[in-house]
Amino acid sequence: MNARRWLLLIGAIGALIAMLAWIGEIDLGIDESLQPPAQQQS
- CA–CA distance, 34 with 27 (Å, rounded to integer): 11
3-class DSSP state for residue 16?
Answer: helix
Residue-wise pLDDT for 5-37, tens only, equals: 999 999 999 999 998 888 777 676 666 655 655
What pTM was computed for the model? 0.54
Q: What pLDDT is recorded for position 17?
A: 92
